[in-house]
Each structure stands twice: as C-alpha cells, then as structure tokens.
C-alpha cells in the first residue's frame, strides 16, 4: 500500500496582539515548577541525547524529552491537570498558588477550608489519567469521559486511580461538551479541560502554564549539555494547548533568538494545519470520527488561547499520517548504536518520525530546505507519552513492514 504523504504549510496567518504571551513568561513558569517540586513524586524527566542518530540523519544534535517517566503516569499531562486543580482550589479559598503546595492540598486544613469537589474532564487517556491521579492525591472526586474507540488499557489506567470513567459513543470534542453538561448538573462540579471557549479560559490557561514545567526543564537540560538553545522545536498538537505553551514559553525565554517552532498533527485531525492553509487567521474545525492511532492528537477543534499563540510564534504546520508516528516509535526503540532507547507511544513519537522522514526521504527535500535543517541544527523533540497502549506498541515496534 502506498504511504500517504506528509503535508506542510508555512505560517502566513496575520499576527494578533499576542494577548496570551505574558502568561508563559519564565517568571510565571517558575511558580509552576515550584508547585510541582512540592510533590514527593517530582523529578525532572530525562532529556535523551541521540548523538549517533543525529549524525546518521545529518543533524548537529537531536534531543528527546522523555515524558514516560513523569510522576509514574507514563505521560506529561499530569503537569497541567495538577496545576489547574491546585490553582482552582487556591482561588476558591483565597490563597496564592505559592501557599497551595502538596502538603497543604493533602492536609486536614484543606478539608476544612475547601471540602470536596468533583472535577470533570474529557480525555483520550493521558489528561484524564492525570486529573484522576491528582484528584485521588488531593482527596477530591473525578469523572472522566472518553471517546469511542478508546483502548481498554487507557480506560483501566484511569479507573485504577479511582475516577468514575465511561467510554462514550462520540468523538473527543463531543465528550468535552458532555463533560461540561454533567458538571453543570453537579453540585460543586468543576470542568478541568485542556481547551478553552468563550467564558472558559482561566482553567485551560492554568493547564498550559502547567506544561511549562516540561519546557523549562528541557531548556535547562539543553544548556547543561552545552547548547544555549535549540534551533528547531517540533511539537505535537491535539487541541494545541501543549504546542501553544511550548511556543509561548520559548518565545519569552529566547526572544529574538527563538527557535523555529514546527507544529505537527495527525492528518485525521489536522485543524491547525487546515487553519494555516486557509491563511486568514481563523481557526478551522475538523469533524467526524477523527480516526488515528495517535489518540492524544485526535482533536478537531483548536484551543483559541493556544491557537493565538501559535498564530504568532509557529513557523509552520505539518499534517502527518499514522506511519510517521510508527516510524518514530521504532526509531526511538532502536536508535543508532550508542544512543539510549526511548519508549515512546503513538502521540509521543510523531516528531521523531517526522524529522527522520524529512532528513532521509528525498520526497521531503523541499521541506528540509524550507526549515533550514542541516548539520548545524539542534533539534528538540518531546516524547509526550510512553507505551500507553502496550498492545499496539508491541505490534508496531516489533513489526517493521
């Protein structure tokens, strides 16, 4: 069967007033990191230097942030959910976030001041698991809705955290709407969703700031490895919250020396790519079942907050077929000799697969030249999840056909 083609478009959308950029300043993200450091489970996740693989591909350096180690949850999403929940609790009891650390959130004083709420969310798996884990840690309740086609392992991971979890007969975007409706019918119901809409912006912004911990760690680890900054950052997008957070943080951190930010999506749910292709700065929506093995990227409606950041700070948008991720999973599982393997799931490996295709397939020479990828390039990727679908992971990594 002929492989579907990777599609790419440069960002020619008109700039906006960039109203959300200040939310991702280094000073704001340092508050987030201080909160995450208060958790006994916290440790920076590894930044794998794929030195030999970079040389094979014709790059100066290739780094992969391995989020399979995050809080023992096999994905980065807990960073956003935990920070948003803590910030919402802090707001409700009149505290600052620096007064709302893990010790307070798990202590008897919180029970007296706040009591118990029910946190609702829709998820492909990773975000919901992070919300469920955080709720259990903090003595709160969680209700999680998952889209049709969800694999059992992701459902089970959330259920084990004590959440009420269901698989709905709907896609992700409809699950978001259902979660909101249920929260509205529940006493002390709170929606913790990683996308925004009119009137619902505070919590999604906190979630994005939560992701800043990962981007900040990576920047520090790069510097420790001898690189002042990456030249290229490839970042995946579902609703776009992670991509917007990373683009915004690095725009603040590096200023005029900001790396090129390349946003990648599953081609079955490429709402950002379609928006950039139209070029008028208005977000497009992709509908239907959004069938892709990259479950974490199966979202058809952009988060307007992160979309605004990407309009201003992404250099291009790429629509990737599933084979791109599969190739990335295999390459990370068995990199060039001397490099440390990384267990990366379907949504985590898309960047590695894309970079490998661009650098090694003559069909994408034009993309390589447009991005300026060569032996001087320092490329940063984020493997946002480990083997969250173990069965599919084994099938792909063990099958090179």
Where in the sequence numbering do the catalytic residues fall?
77, 124
Distance CA 83, CA 97 (A): 9
Nearest Cα to Cα of residue 64 among 335, 381, 343: 381
Question: CA-to-CA distance for 378 and 191, rounded, in angstroms?
Answer: 39
Triad 70, 74, 78: Cα angle to 5°: 55
Closest to 303 (Cα-Cα) out of 172, 382, 220, 194: 194
Q: Reading across the β-sheet that carries 61-66, which strands appear in turn?
A: 7-10, 316-320, 260-266, 232-236, 378-383, 61-66, 47-49
| Residue in this structure with the two tokens 């939310």, named with its chain if needed | 23
Q: From residue 329, how far is each of 11, 149, 325, 353, 382 by CA, in Å?
A: 28, 21, 6, 7, 13
Which residue blocks in 26-101 are alpha helix, DSSP H? Answer: 26-37, 51-57, 78-93
């Amino acid at each position: 069967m002929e492989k579907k083609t990777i599609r790419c478009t440069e960002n020619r959308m008109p700039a906006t007033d960039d109203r959300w950029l200040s939310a991702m300043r280094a000073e704001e993200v340092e508050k987030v990191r201080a909160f995450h450091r208060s958790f006994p489970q916290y440790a920076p996740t590894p930044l794998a230097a794929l030195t030999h693989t970079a040389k094979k591909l014709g790059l100066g350096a290739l780094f992969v942030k391995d989020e399979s180690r995050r809080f023992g949850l096999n994905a980065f999403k807990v960073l956003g959910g935990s920070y948003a929940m803590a910030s919402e609790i802090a707001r409700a009891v009149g505290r600052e976030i620096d007064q709302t650390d893990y010790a307070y959130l798990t202590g008897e004083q919180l029970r007296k001041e706040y009591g118990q709420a029910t946190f609702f969310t829709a998820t492909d798996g990773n975000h919901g698991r992070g919300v469920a884990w955080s709720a259990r840690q903090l003595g709160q309740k969680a209700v999680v809705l998952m889209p049709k086609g969800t694999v059992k392992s992701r459902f089970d991971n959330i259920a084990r955290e004590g959440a009420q979890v269901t698989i709905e007969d709907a896609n992700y975007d409809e699950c978001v709407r259902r979660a909101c409706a249920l929260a509205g019918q529940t006493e002390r119901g709170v929606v913790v969703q990683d996308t925004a809409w009119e009137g619902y912006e505070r919590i999604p912004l906190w979630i994005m700031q939560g992701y800043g911990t990962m981007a900040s760690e990576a920047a520090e680890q790069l510097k420790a490895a001898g690189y002042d900054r990456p030249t290229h950052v490839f970042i995946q997008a579902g609703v776009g919250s992670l991509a917007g957070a990373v683009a915004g943080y690095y725009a603040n951190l590096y200023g005029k020396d900001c790396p090129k930010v390349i946003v990648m999506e599953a081609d079955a749910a490429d709402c950002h790519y379609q928006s950039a292709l139209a070029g008028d700065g208005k977000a497009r929506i992709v509908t239907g079942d959004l069938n892709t093995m990259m479950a974490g990227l199966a979202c058809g409606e952009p988060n307007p907050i992160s979309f605004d950041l990407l309009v201003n700070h992404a250099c291009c948008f790429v629509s990737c077929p599933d084979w791109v991720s599969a190739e990335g999973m295999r390459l990370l599982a068995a990199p060039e000799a001397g490099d440390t393997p990384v267990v990366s799931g379907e949504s985590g490996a898309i960047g590695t697969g894309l970079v490998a295709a661009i650098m090694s397939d003559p069909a994408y020479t034009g993309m390589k030249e447009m991005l300026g990828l060569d032996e001087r390039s320092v490329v940063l990727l984020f493997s946002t999840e480990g083997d969250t679908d173990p069965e599919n992971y084994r099938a792909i990594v063990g099958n090179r056909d």
